[in-house]
């Protein structure tokens, strides 16, 4: 099998490539990535020169490039997306371009070639839950609250439409908040870890009682692989980590793991439209795929903190922009 992975230099995409190449011998990967600020080829340094791995520098909105690559593979696993809510509030346009238009370009290429298409999405498309409301399921109505989640909802609907209209063999997964190695340090967990390691304050939005379900990234990769092997075409699968906690709990637990002081916490003005709670019911994935998370939140946080302690040069270079300067020299800036 040959898989086109879009956004494979990003956090979840690079972890998925590691997972596939480490656990199979008959699968090869083509990694298409535009190397925007969150894309980092250092994540995949160990696979350079491996015959089963190929990197292509390009953007998913580049129609001719996408059509050529899709014609050469069996399956598309689509991670590429602008994903940070705060950035979507400041500049929605790039989110619309990448998340909606880019998904359309990929779907059109897949339709012309009749290729299998898996779309990686988010639980944020379902909106916000009150503390006493049941968890999101595959039947939860969409109710996006940010430009980011609205564009992901739009791309989900496009994927579903291509299944019903054209019979394209698709699946969708809506996952909860991922964490683990290679996570860009603007998101909560890596930001807390790296700020504490640098002796900086840790910003916490509002009262810090926003609840998220946390999914260790390798568990997510295993779920995607199971969907590719066993998933029902046209189906959506909710993927959760069984790790529902308040943001402030996460912050304080990392402080404990790093033996720091809670004086490091700095409460800041809450994000506009900040969803209060996400929660995932992944029973369909367990029932149909035999999948469930294997890494507890406690174990995953310990592993993640240890990884950032052991890979300080990686995140220091990410924060300083050193990798990006190198990539611009090597590849040139792309749209």
**Cβ burial, residue 98 (10 Å; 0-12/13-18/19+):** buried
Place of tokens 């029932």: 287
**Is 123 part of the annotated catalytic residue set?**
yes
Residue in 33, 82, 123, 218 annotated catalytic: 123
d(CA 77, CA 220): 13
d(CA 157, CA 172): 10
Q: Which of 257, 251, 255 is nearest to 207 (CA)?
A: 251
d(CA 214, CA 3): 27
Residue in 148, 237, 278, 323 annotated catalytic: 148
Whether 27 contacts 3, CB under 8 Å: yes
Residue in 33, 82, 124, 275 annotated catalytic: 124
Backbone angles phi, psi at 239, to 5 degrees: -120, 115
- Residues labelled catalytic: 123-124, 148
């Amino acid at each position: 099998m040959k898989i086109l992975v879009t956004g494979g230099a990003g956090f979840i995409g690079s972890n998925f490539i590691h997972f596939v190449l480490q656990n199979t011998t008959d699968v090869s990967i083509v990694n298409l990535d535009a190397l925007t600020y969150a894309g980092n080829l250092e994540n995949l340094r160990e696979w350079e020169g491996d015959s089963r791995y190929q990197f292509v520098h390009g953007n998913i909105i580049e129609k001719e490039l996408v059509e050529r690559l899709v014609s050469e593979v069996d399956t598309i696993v689509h991670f590429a997306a602008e994903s940070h809510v705060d950035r979507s509030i400041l500049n929605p346009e790039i989110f619309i371009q990448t998340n909606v238009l880019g998904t359309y370009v990929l779907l059109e290429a897949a339709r012309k070639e009749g290729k299998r298409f898996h779309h990686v999405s988010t639980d944020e498309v379902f909106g916000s839950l009150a503390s006493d409301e049941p968890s999101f399921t595959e039947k939860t109505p969409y109710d996006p609250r940010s430009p980011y989640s609205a564009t992901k909802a739009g791309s989900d609907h496009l994927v579903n439409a291509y299944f019903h209209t054209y019979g394209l063999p698709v699946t969708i997964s809506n996952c909860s908040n991922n964490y683990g190695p290679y996570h860009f340090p603007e998101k909560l967990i890596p930001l807390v870890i790296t700020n504490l390691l640098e002796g900086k304050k840790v910003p916490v939005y509002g009262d810090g009682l926003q609840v998220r379900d946390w999914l260790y990234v390798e568990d997510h990769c295993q779920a995607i692989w199971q969907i590719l092997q066993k998933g029902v075409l046209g189906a959506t699968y909710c993927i959760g980590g069984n790790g529902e906690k308040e943001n402030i709990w996460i912050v304080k637990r990392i402080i404990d793991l790093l033996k720091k002081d809670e004086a490091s916490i700095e409460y800041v003005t809450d994000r506009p439209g900040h969803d209060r709670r996400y929660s995932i019911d992944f029973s369909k994935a367990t029932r149909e795929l035999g999948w469930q998370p294997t890494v507890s939140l406690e174990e995953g946080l310990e592993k993640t903190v240890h990884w950032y302690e052991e890979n300080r040069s990686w995140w220091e270079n990410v924060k300083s922009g050193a990798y990006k300067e190198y990539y611009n020299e090597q590849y040139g800036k792309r749209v």
